[in-house]
Amino acid sequence: MPVLWLAGLFTLLVCISITSITVWQLRQTRIHELEIANTNVANLSRSMAQHADDAFDQAHIAVSAVVERLSFDGFGAASGSRMHDYLRATAASVEQLQGLFIYDKDGNWAATSLNHMPAGANNADREYFRFHQSIASSLPHVGPAIQSRTTGDWIIPVSRRVDDEMGNFAGVVLATVELNYFERFFERFDIGKHGVITLTMADGTVLARRPLIQNVRGTSIGDGELFRLYVREHYEGTANVVSMLDHEQRLYGYKKLDRYPMVVLAGLSQREVLDEWRQYAWRSLAIIICVVVANLLFGVLLFQQIRFGLNAESQLRIASHSLEKLALQDSLTGLANRRHFQEILGLEFLNGQPNLHPLSLIMIDIDFFKSYNDNYGHVAGDKCIVAVAECIRSNINRTGDLAVRYGGEEMAVFLPYSDMQGAVSLAEKIRLAVLTRALEHHGNPIGIVSISLGVYGCKAQECETLEDFVKRADAALYAAKHQGRNRTVAWQETKLLSALPAP
């Protein structure tokens, strides 16, 4: 029964794991799609705002040119044919202009770029005229959207005051910017079926919108969530809100114009942004259902196999024996593990006794490795151990030599048929190879990863026991660390005994 319970628990955990990973991936994908959409609407709003700034700059330049011309020629030249031709040519050269107009101090039409000037026309009641009549400023004035009495088109007035030689109010020069121009321009961009681009005054009054809703011009969206919480508080940014006009959830990018009291809003429908993601999510859900069902069927088959008396214990014993044969290598570094080292060392040591050939052992320790783990983390620590192991492996060329991961950050090299001098030479090569790697280590005084090495070499009969052989190499390693690390120390009985502290 415990085996059945474990098998059932395993099957359940696999199903939960697969489902959890898939849900996490879907969530991350959704976040990524929304982030991309946020970036797109932010870039689109910046582009639209720059274009609007440029469009009104051109209108301002046209108005300023007319004002300057009047200052040279005098206001009396406004009614001449030359001025009419000039206004007409200037208006024709600027795509967004509906017309250019000059009004005298009483609001009467003095000149226009239009082909026909209505008799007795007067604009003294317009907001822009009253503004300049009451405020003595030469700065341009952008007024609220109005409907042209001449053409019926919705326009934005851009105007400047004209003074006579005495500095008194002499009239107004007006350029009218077509709102249809912006709506035509907005049509060039792919914002989906439910996307929107809107140009508003700073207070939220709608000037132009795509798609255009009936009677939306002049409507204020200043009380909506987008303006209340975002636009009024920030110069530009993004927001995910519901539109107060059509109640569509959108990701908006917004930006205020640099030189004029207006705001551009660009929004993408969240439904449309996530359409492809939803399709992907449904496909993933279908696949997960199939995988979970298949896994459950596999679990049922597993239960049946257990019930039919498969010899699981025998299979585990065989598998354990196979693993034992394979378990002679360290999984992280690829070097021999300590168990393999102890077996080979014992055999080589015994074989060394009758033949009297030399045996040498190098014990290696990574300097300040605990500090390295604390500063860089265990993943980086594992990579450091692997790098040192590669330096050891690359310097061992003889058949029979054995590189070992002894434990943690300690490693060893067993060298049959090598005397002390040869072992010290190899140890120095390994130490320099590690330094050449120049792995960053702020916890080491020299700033990079280094190693300490202890070397012992003898003929097998010179050591009373195998433990003495390993103990002396380890004592040499201790001396290397005691003397300052990043060095190789060979075991010499007299020097070591005097250098080491009393136990």
Q: Which residues are catalytic?
A: 409
Six token digits for residue 11: 């099957």
Q: What is the DSSP string of 8-56?
A: HHHHHHHHHHHHHHHHHHHHHHHHHHHHHHHHHHHHHHHHHHHHHHHHH
Q: How far apart are CA 106 and CA 129, in angstroms?
A: 9
Report the b/e string of 34-54 with b at 16+ CB within 10 A: beebbebbbebbbebbebbbe
Residues 240, 242: Cα–Cα separation, whole Å:
7
- Structure tokens, 222: 């200043």
The amino acid at residue 249 is: Q
Q: Please, which residues have CB within 8 angstroms of residue 403's CB and are 6 or more apart in sequence? A: 335, 336, 389, 392, 393, 396, 411, 412, 413
CA 105, CA 127: separation in Å to the nearest integer? 14
Which amino acid is residue 29, in one-letter code? T
- How far apart are the two ends of the chain, measured CA to CA in Å? 56
Are 468 and 491 contacting, i.e. CB atoms less than 8 angstroms apart? no
Residue 249: which of 394, 16, 468, 37 has the closest Cα?
37
